A = this chain, B = another copy of it.
Amino acid sequence: MELTVWRTFVTVCRLGSLSAAAAELHHTQSAVSRQVAGLERQLGVPLIERHARGVRPTPAGEVFRHHALATLSEADRAVRAAREAGDGAFNRPLTVGATPSLAAGIVPEAIRALQKETGSIRWSLLPGLSAQLHHRVTTGDLDVAVVTDAPPGLPHDPRVERRFLGLDDMVVALPVDHPQAGRGPVRMRTLADETWVEDNDGSAALLHQHAARAGVSARIDLTAADLPGKLALVATGHAIALIPGVLTRALRIDITTVGLVDPPTRGIYTITPHRSPHPCAAPLLDQLATAFTSIRPAHELVSRGSPGSGYR
């Protein structure tokens, strides 16, 4: 009686594997296995044959899959029709702006959680720097902006509503074969001899400030054009970099991170118009808040493969 379970079953049939379906649906294999088993128990009929190299639908499974597809498409139509009949607000895509690190880290996860509870909605994500994003909220271009108070900080503007999500610890990105990789939190002076790379003035200022407090100076010998370029230089061993902790779970496979003792932090904020025109804006803010708090514990971890990532 749960349509998400039916959708899971259809995906399993399409891919011929519980694990593959789990990966596509961003669940664990365990959850998919139990969902299908529960469906079979409800129906009282085996739906798939378990094989050593995957699964294959039984005849009954094939029949059910056919009807399930029809049901799901009808359900989608119902949701769509109700929203169109309500008012036009849903037909416009939800436009979300975020800084590059947040756009790679928590925002997609929050949108996914939002879609899980509202069903499929259209949306677009615009990367940008905090100041630009703030401006675009005032002009109405953006429904929601997710920004940081990294230098030069956020302006105070009564025309928009600002909500504090939490503090994000900065971490150090290293190539996986770096001597410090896999260690616990390190001190800034341990990294005194390293070459650093930065991609914008705000980040550079933050790094210099933090190094100065630790009594050392950070040599920024390289400058990258953007975040991906910065990470490319880290991955290839040319330098190390200070990056936001929210990025930890969305890094390249050839990069790892270590925490810092007494790390610098950035405040994460959402910015919205006072009376948000889009009905999904408020729910998205909630999802961002929970997504952020659920990410926090990952900062305690030293390396990749953080908990909660499941089979993703």
Q: If A2-B1, A86-B46 touch, does A68 touch B78 (CB 8 Å cutoff)?
A: yes
Q: Are B45 and A117 in contact (CB under 8 A)?
A: no
Distance A61 CA – B47 CA, assembled complex (angstroms):
35
Chain B residues near A81 (CB, 8 Å)? 63-64, 66-67
Select A82's contact among B63, B78, B87, B90, beta carbons within 8 Å.
B63
A253: chain B residues at CB < 8 Å are none
A86 touches B1 (CB 8 A): no
Which residue of chain B has the shortest Cβ distance to A43 in the bound complex? Answer: B82
Q: Are B1 and A1 in contact (CB under 8 A)?
A: no
Q: How far is the CA of A87 from the CA of B58 in the complex (A)?
A: 12
Q: A74-B71, A78-B68, A78-B70 are in contact. Are A44 and B83 (CB under 8 A)?
A: yes
Which B-chain residue is minimally distant from A5 (CB atoms)? Answer: B1
Cβ contacts under 8 Å, A78 to chain B: 6, 64, 67-68, 70-71
A85 at the interface (CB under 8 A from B): yes
Q: What's the nearest-Cβ distance from chain B to residue A251, in Å?
A: 32
Number of copies: 2
Instruction: Tell me if B63 and A85 are in contact (CB < 8 A).
Output: yes
**A250 on interface, CB distance cutoff 8 Å:** no
B1 contacts A45, C-beta separation under 8 Å: no
A117: min CB distance to chain B, Å? 6
**With a CB–CB cut-off of 8 A, which chain B residues contact A63?**
81-82, 85
A41 to B79, CA, bound (A): 12
Contacts of A6 in B (CB 8 A): 78
> Which residues of chain A have a CB within 8 Å of any CB of chain B?
1-4, 6, 41-47, 59-64, 66-68, 70-71, 74-75, 77-79, 81-83, 85-87, 89-90, 117-119, 279-280, 283
- 3 closest Cβ contacts across the A-B interface? A45-B86, A67-B78, A64-B82
Subset of 20 A-B contacts with CB under 8 Å: A1-B2, A1-B4, A2-B2, A6-B78, A42-B117, A43-B82, A44-B86, A44-B90, A44-B280, A45-B82, A45-B86, A45-B87, A47-B82, A63-B82, A64-B79, A64-B85, A67-B77, A67-B78, A67-B81, A71-B71
